Structures are given as structure tokens and as C-alpha cells.
Structure 1
Amino acid sequence: MFATFWRPRLTSRTGRRIYRRKLTTVNKVALDSPAYWQNFYQHKLASRKSSFDWFVDDDEVIRLIAEQVRSLTTPSSKVLHIGCGTSILCEALHSSLDNNTTLLHTDIDETAITQAKKRLRGTLSRWHDFMLDDILSTKLGSGDWNVVVDKGVIDCFVHSGNDEALKTALGNIRSLLSPHGTLVMVTNDDMVTREGDFMRLDLMREWDVPRMKSIELVGEEMGFTCNMFMLRPRGDEN
């Protein structure tokens, strides 16, 4: 079973309350399609918007995610950030992690990679880089990543109803992780919903949840929860 979770109520440092809408049936369409994201980032490039975060874009919350990732690493760790897009989480991880920690941001869209890398140009250490890669057919090898960070990739497959892609992605992530490695999954879904996804696809026998934190973002009209799961493959509980 999933572990008991922690749910603080957060505001930004400026006192501004944080609000982002939940996903709707409208924006569930085609989220698992590379063509969708190619068009999306081309549009963002045309509008000269250099960064975009899907359901969490508050600096304070992004910082907390990066700090959680840092707590799971040592200077010799290897961290893989999948589906990075043009998220400001790229900068947050870059700033938070040790310069000697290997940090690789990947995405399926070349425009997104180019834009994100451009923002960090001149500040990347030799161990921090970007790469074009698809988690469904990753070319990154296996078994040597200490932490895999996902903020939205798994949600794309879940909310598109693409169970086959979801199972493939989680299987590939599991293969990428080193012994006792951790998947940090930031999701728009709550604990019960995500547990249901894992049970429905018979993935509970492959993954455990030794701990989970849930960050609640409080909106003007309604509150919703953005959860941060720390997942390890079964057999890595010790």
C-alpha cells in the first residue's frame, strides 16, 4: 500500500496564492503525441515565450521539488530529468545540485531542448547537459541513474488513456534506475487516483512507495493538490 502522505498548504514567498486548473477532457487530447508537443513548442517559440510549465510554474514550488531531488543525491549521483520541455525546473535542478552531479535533461522535442539549453547557456557545468530522447524508446542504457525526475510525462500518458505507453515508460524508467534508485514523480493526480492506475495495470508488484509527499497548491476559486511521489522498484526497499 501507499505510504501516509504529508500535505502542507503553500503560498509563494511574495504571499501570492498559487492556482492552476486541473486537467480537463479538452486538454487531455493528444498529450501523448510527439506531433502535439512539436506544434506546441513551435507556437511558444513564435510567441517568444522562453519557458513553460504545465501544471506547476510557481518558483517556490519548483524550488521545493529541486530540493527534494537534491536530498536524494550525493556529488557522485546521476540525475535524469525526463520530459523537461522548457520548464524552469531545469534551472532549479541546475542551481540546486552539486556541479559534479551528473544532470541530464531530456525531451522528445528538439525546439524545447534548444530553447531550454539556450536559457542556461554559459552556466552549464561539464556534468549538466540536455539531450533529445524519448522515454518510450530511450537510448540511455540501463541501471546507472540514481534519480529519475518526471513532472508531467507520466500524466500525459495517464490523461490520454494510453495505458500501453504508460507501462512502457514506467518499465523503461525502472530499467534506467540503479539499485535503490528513485523515481521522483510530480503529478496533477492525488494518491488514490495514482494508486488506482498502478493497480489497474498490475504495476504494484513492480513498484513500491517508501514515502510520498503531497504539496497542496491553494487557489482563489478552488484548491487542488499537486503530489510529489518518491517511487522505488520493488526489491529496493532496504
Structure 2
Amino acid sequence: MASSAINKYECPGYWGERYAADDSRFEWFVSFASIRPLLGFVRRGSAVLDMGCGTSLFLADLRRDGHRGRLVGVDIVEKAVRALRRETRGLEIEVYCDDVRALRFGASTFDVVVDKGTIDAMICGGAAAVQAACAEVSRVLRVGGRFVVCSHHLVDGMDDWLRPVIDGLTTTTTTTKGDQPVVAWGLDVHALEGGGPTIYIFTKHRASPRGAPSLKMAFHEHAG
């Protein structure tokens, strides 16, 4: 595929035109039902952010499954945001038009952040945007929280995709007290037998004060 065709996926204008042509529900990569077995860590009261939500009903399905906590979706395309607000009316789901590289939320707001294809789209334009988005994820995610990434990038040869994700997540942030907290991450990679999206689940840990940013990875293969 030509690079120009790939690069369009990281352009907000492309998505604006796409949703202008069709703002009906579209479920990127995986449905809530298909990923639910991997989400045992999501408690009923967890605060969950769907970054780059588009018109996905992932959060609506989570609410209908009995979730009681705060549910928030963000997308850069206003038309998609308006469509999702209509679809989720009455479900107490917040939907905002936001750039995932500059989220409106305070530090340590969410227990879980979910991405279904946003990072894949952004990487088409280079590493910098992905690093910025993942630095925001690290900022708004609480210690002990999970960042769930659904991606078509496989474990084999994933370095070009994974490196900017890790670089963004492990970016240190100067606090009002002037210190630089260090974050460590665990990564569980879930791959379905026979192909399909790979599910990367990052867990945020607080590292020791003298430690360095780190990542520990485990691989899980599922029949299906």
C-alpha cells in the first residue's frame, strides 16, 4: 500500500470526511463481547476512558453489562461525537471532542483506558504523535490502572510500533513539587490463534524513587 494511502489514517480531515459520509455505528477491531473475557480487572465502579471512540458502542455495552462507574469517550471528529451522544443518550456516558494528545482530564483520573485502533492510525504519521498520546494516557491513568490497546500489529516485528508507545508511557512528568515520578509498566500480550487483532494490556506501576522507567512483558496465546 502506498505511503500516502496509509498516512491518511492519521489525518483528522480524513476521519471527518469518513464520518460525514456515514456516521452509523462502527465497531473497530473487536466488540465488547469478544474482549470481555480479558477485562476481568475492570471493576463495576472503575472509571473508563475510550480514546478515539468514534461511533463505537463499547462503552454502552459496558454500561448495559452492569458497569456503574464513570464512562468517557473522546474523539477528534465532532460528527462522530454527536452521533455517539445520540446513541448513548440516557446511559450516563460522557462523550467529548478532544485530541488524545491533549486531554482535558486531570492526572490520575481513570482506572482503565481503552484504544481500539487509534494508535494504529496515528503511527501512520510517525512516532511523535503516538508518543504524545501515550504520555497523556500515562498522565490520566492511575497507578494500578490498565491501558488496553487493540492493534493489528503482531508481536513479531512490532518494535517500530511498540517503541513510541513505550517511550510515551514512560515519559516522566515534573510535578508542582519539582520531582520527577518514575513509572514502571507491565505488559501482557494476548494473541488469538489464527489471526485477528492483538490485545496489549499495559499495567501502570509506581517504580522505586531511584529506579528507571521499565517494562516487563508476558505473552499469552488463546485458541479461537
TM-score > 0.5, shorter chain as reference: yes
Sort the Cα spacing of 1:65 and 1:205 in 2 relative to 1 into closer, same or farther, 3 A.
Answer: closer
The one-letter code matched in structure 1 to 2:80 is A
Partner Cα distance (2:21, 2:202) in 1: 34
The separation in 2 between residues aligned to 1:132 and 1:199, in whole angstroms, is 27
CA distance in 1, matches of 2:99, 2:164: 24
Structure 1: runs of 5+ lacking an equivalent = 1-22, 219-223
| TM-score, scaled relative to structure 1 | 0.71
CA RMSD of aligned residues (A): 2.8
Partner residue, 2:27: 53
Percent identity between matched residues is 22
Distance 2:16 2:60 in 1: 22
Q: Which residue of 2 aligns with 1:231?
A: 202
* Structure 2 unpaired stretches of 5+: 171-183, 208-214, 216-224
Q: Give the alignment of 1:1-238 within 5 angstroms.
A: 27-45=5-23, 50-54=24-28, 56=29, 61-69=31-39, 71-98=40-67, 100-122=68-90, 124-125=91-92, 128-158=93-123, 160-199=124-163, 203=167, 206=170, 208-216=185-193, 224-233=195-204, 235=206
Structure 1 runs of 4+ aligned residues shifted over 6 Å read: none
3-state SS in 1 of match to 2:138: helix
Amino acid aligned to 1:64: S
200 and 82 in structure 1: CA distance in 2 versus 1, 3 angstrom threshold: closer
The alignment of Structure 1 onto Structure 2 pairs a total of residues equal to 196
* Matched residue type, 1:95: R
Match for 1:96: what amino acid? D
Query: Which of 1 and 2 has higher RCO (CA within 8 Å, sep 6+)?
Result: 1
CA contact (8 A) 2:15 2:77 kept: yes
- Which letter does structure 2 place at the counterpart of 1:77? S
